[in-house]
Structure 1
Amino acid sequence: MIRAGVVGATGYAGAEIAALLMGHPQAELVWAGSRSFAGHPLSEVYGNLRGISGLVCIDDDTETLRRDILRLAEDVDVIFTATPQGASSSLVTEELLEKVKVIDLSADFRFADTGVYEQWYGIRHGAPTLVKQAVYGLSELMREEIRHTRLLANPGCFTTCAILTVYPLIKEGLVDPNTLIIDALSGVSGAGRGAKIASLFCEVNENVKAYGVTSHRHTPEIEEQLGKAAGRALTLQFTPHLVPMNRGILVTGYAELAAADGSGLCGAAAARAGVLPQEETLRAVYEKYYGGEHFIRLLPGDDLPETRFVEGSNDVDINFRIDSRTGRVVMLGALDNLVKGAAGQAVQNMNIMFGLPESSGLELVPRFP
């Protein structure tokens, strides 16, 4: 059995990890940390765990953890850190990594350049010397690197959905990456469990709003990973929106298609010249990358992704449409932001890191309605 500890186990993502580990046939949740509910049973904080978990939350205040983390590491094989930005980089040390593997759900180890992290998050990085050994944990795209790492940066929810949705066409050069625009819709749980005015029922209900316009922190994360796919740095437009639902992310990406004849034409010019790639070509590319993936469902024909059909699962639904009038492709993806967008992918990465089947503990049928 893999023995696991969770820092931040009473936040939405941390609680989802805890619940998944309780149902995992080859893992055991040994301890669960909470700053706000230290000393309280986890099942008291989350009533859905009544009769399932008898764990009492330990104190994971940052100062307490700095003192106790090496001792806590003696009891586990992996630690999940579902913490605010800046906390993990103040806790993770070389000494800790010699004892235990760490899967971090914050942004602290997602960027190759700590300067980018510090610019977008406004926080000084606490462990810049460890960044180079961290692996960006997009399970389907970084599988081999994940197998051999001891420090994993679990991707953000928007980034997971956005990157998986557009990656194949960027990687194969079928679109002009400089024309890429990504819109995304997210449920309220993506904002976390903390009390915020913007997340109150009366503020969210019967309303849709854009936020983080031109400044959302997932933008450079998406740019960095898709830039690697394109083989060059890229700049894109990313706009998230908050919608009144508990869970789910729907991404819509737009980009100009590159001409199929190698002429260099793109978009409307390629459409006017009649040299746009055909749907069969694009579908074959998606099949090439995702056809054998357990958690990515390439939807057929006219079926388009919907958040309700992935809720509660580790699945990602993807499809696309070619707009022959504008010469663009519209790429769509949907996932559950707390499962594949956070906890589920973290457990999937744990499975890879410890040589288990990726689907272990994650055979979750989407719940509907």
Structure 2
Amino acid sequence: MKAQALKIKETKNILDARQKEVDALRVELESRSAELEKREARVEAERAEFLKERDQVAASRAAIDKDLSTVRMDRDKAAAEERRVQDWARTLNEREKTTKEREDQVKRLEHELTDHLKESERKIQALVEREEVGAQRERALAETIERLSVIEKGMADRDRKLANREEELIRLQNERLVALETREREILKISEEMFARQKASAEQHESVVELQNTLRDELNHLADEREKLAVKEKSLLEAERYITAALEASGIDLPDEPEERTPPPPPAVEMQPPRPPSRAGTTAVAQAPLHDEIFEDEPVETKPRVSRADALERMTKALETAKRARDAGKNVSDIRKSLKQARASFESGDYDAASRLAAEILRELEAVVAAR
């Protein structure tokens, strides 16, 4: 039973495989039939195209026949035209000769034109070089103008600083003037007090002089009395000496007594009055002019008539007008020289000369524009 079942399974498997092969063959047949149908459709389409082409060939044959007839007509016309062409060829030969002559003339003219073009190119190159040099000079002038503007700004800042310093100096001067006025008032008060003291001292001096005169008179009187006393003492001494000499001569012994000698009278001292204090010194001190550093003569700088800003503005106007004249085709070589002179005078600080030269340049350019 098992063997039969196995055989049945094997047969089933074989049948299944064959069924699969049959299905594959069926699919292939269906695909082949579809391809054959497509080929039949193509063949039918090609037949229809062939029929159309046949009709077209017939139509083209009819057209060719017509064309042949027209070609024959055209041959006749071409023969007539060949004759005309020969005539035209003769005329063309003559025209070719004339054209060759004209070409020679044109070549000559081309050579001349090339020479003129070369000369013009040289001139243009020289003009371009001049323009480049002028542009470089203009750049240099622009740089100098920028530098001058920077310097002008610095000068303006310095002027502001100087103005501030002047204001401070004026304020200090006012303060010092106030202080000096107060000092003068104090000195006047002191001088008045000194004058009052001088008056008092003069009065005291007068009283002292009177006392000195009285003392001098008393001293003179005392000196006279001393002289009188000295004379009396001398006479007494002489009398004593005479008495002693007489006693010695008579032989009478006297006890030894010391001789008392009176000193000579002192010399009379003259009392001189003290000198009064000189009023000239006090008045000179009181009336001496007060001197201060503020009132010293400061050196005054002479300012130019034309300011730096005005000179710079005129120079810029002259430069712009010169550029316009150069663009208009005018020769500005002399004007450039005068501009250089103005620049040199400006850099040296002579603003009057710089502004004068700029004004002359403007007048010349205006005259040229008016003449045009």
Q: TM-score, normalised by structure 1?
A: 0.15
Structure 1 or 2, whichever has the larger Rg, is 2
Higher helix share: 2
Higher strand share: 1
Q: Pick 1 or 2: higher relative contact order, CA cutoff 8 A, min separation 6.
A: 1
Q: TM-score, normalised by structure 2?
A: 0.15
